Amino acid sequence: MNKTELAIAQKQLAIEDLLGFAIGIPEMRYFNKSSDKLLDEKIEVLTQIKQGKVIKDIPKFYDILENLPKDEGASWD
């Protein structure tokens, strides 16, 4: 395993550890925990959820929902 693969694996483990704090957030059904994209952003958002912040106060929350349908007419506000 090279350094890049190791870093990705470590970030994936961190995400797995943090995901439990997002249980009960309906939008998390669009979260792709198998994806290697946006790992740092996912850790940042999940850490903020763990700290008790609400979704509206987490700027990148919707950015990490890779499986969220991209409907231009949709609004989450």
For residue range 17-58, list pLDDT tens digits in order: 999 999 999 999 999 999 999 999 999 999 999 999 999 999
User: Which pLDDT score, from 0 to 100, does residue 35 have?
Assistant: 95
Q: Which residue has the higher pLDDT, 18 or 71?
A: 18
- 15 part of a folded domain: yes
- 36 part of a folded domain: yes
For residue 10, give its domain range. 3-64
Q: What is the reported pTM?
A: 0.87
Segment 4-19 shows an average pLDDT of 97
- 31 part of a folded domain: yes
Tokens standing for residue 10: 């470590």
Query: CA-CA distance, 35 to 37, in Å (whole number)?
Result: 5
If we measure between CA atoms, which residue out of 64, 72, 36 comes closest to residue 48?
Answer: 64
In degrees, rounded to 5, the angle at the alpha carbon of residue 35 between the alpha carbons of residues 34 and 38 is 135
